[in-house]
Structure 1
Amino acid sequence: MMHGFQGKYFTRVAQLLMVLGLCACSQQEIKDSGPSRPLDFSGSPDAIPKQENRTRAGNKSPYVIFGKTYRVLSDSRGFRQQGEASWYGKKFHGRNTSNGEVYDMYAMTAAHKTLPIPSYVRVTNHSNGRSVVVRVNDRGPFHGNRIIDLSYAAASKLGFAERGTAPVSVEAIDTGNPPLRHAGVVHPGTAEPTQEIVRAPSPSSGNRNAHLGKQSYLQVAAFSQRQSAEQLLARLRSSISEPMRLNQAKGLFRVHIGPLTKVNDIAAVRKTLQALSLGSGFVVNE
């Protein structure tokens, strides 16, 4: 009888240990992590706010997650929020964000539940006073009372990557965007009267080496301050070998890449811009 009892006892203990082991594995699977070696992001540049069309993907409203309904704001201007921030890293690195971009844990980006995508916000860590500017291109976090999920780089720059969370304030940056609308071709009225804004032909729709036939530039952004435009130019020149220029007109400083003569030149530059979380720009023909 005793041996039978002992056998059942040890069997139950073994089963319990197995269950606990599985739970531990599950906890490890859902736990996120940063780079495999320590990196210093204190000198990493913030995201550079600029006007962008709202993307069609990622702005569905209302939407439901875990039985809760969320409504995307039509306008981010004046938005302020305080609460807890978290971050996401290697587990999602390389995966698509809500608007179809590729998540880069080394870029200054963030996920938010209701801000239009894309939006730019300043996040301030109340624990140490540090702040960063990030570009919102994803949805979340849908966990507890957290209000924003930052990239690993942004969390590291704010000083809470190791801790995991921090009390923060989130303040939207006004880029002059109109209320939420679907993305499309930028209206010609927003550019110079002597310029024509067009959608670049898709490389897959014809000869990738086809010449565009006109003096074509890819406009990345427009700023009211020259210094902001020059900062972006400096950042671009470290990653893109194509010629660039600063086009000043009507009180705006436009960052242009080009002239670009072939369809695949534009496709290659756009791919780099997207990797830098700078959108895809639009073509300006002169």
Structure 2
Amino acid sequence: MKQLSHFFIWCNLSLISCVPQEEPPQQTGPEFKAISNVSYGDQERQVYDLYLPANRNENTATLILLHGGGWMEGNKSEMNSFRDFLREQLPQFAVVNMNYRLADHDQSPYPMQMEDISALVGHLQSSREEYQIGERLGFVGVSAGGHLALLWSYTRDEADQVQMVCSIVGPTNLLDEAYMNTQNADLREMLDLFGSDEATLRSASPLFQLQDDAPSTILFYGGQDPLIPNSQGISLKQRLEELQVSHEFHFYPNEGHGWIGLNLLDASLKLKAFIEKSF
């Protein structure tokens, strides 16, 4: 189980260096600023790292990163490669790398982790003048973090701040038969965190919460993923098509719960282009 939070490999320096670098903007406004472990609540896990771009203003959008780990493990440090990629390739965005409270058999992920994201967004909103940023948001989540990114964007974005959401190998349907009947002990342990009540599992499934006014969505899945059945990504893709929600779906048949090499570079370029298009 301790391996799961480190299983997804995304960016490495050699591939990042292959992506064309943009010229840094001319300095005309505030300087770049980084702040570590900012509290957004009174619990130890309720902290985030913040990276404020140079030349930011009241229209600067923020990208929020959500780590994986099966809802019960993981740390924001595991998203540092994403943080670096976004800061280098999209320097006009503020970046938030957040921790959230971890679930256990006494405390379900849902709605606790939704509440943490709401608290984080509220903290950003109340700090906009201090940080010199705007209201617009984007989410990038991996595995369990992808699930949380989708679910919050589809159900909790009451102010319509979210312009785009990215799920990388994230669960979308906790009622999927491939999940309900899994023989994978680690996966079973994670899914049991949500309990067995069908109404709760439906409420916690992005697939069933998606509406036609959802933000633009980009999905990445691997055909050989031992944790996330192919049906998870494909079902959400089909529902996005039915509701005519702007989206992209990228499927790598020979990849698992993460990938490196040319497919990594391909996915990185697609994610960058999608973020630029969505704002």
TM bucket, shorter chain: under 0.3
Higher helix share: 2
**TM-score normalized with structure 2 length:** 0.26
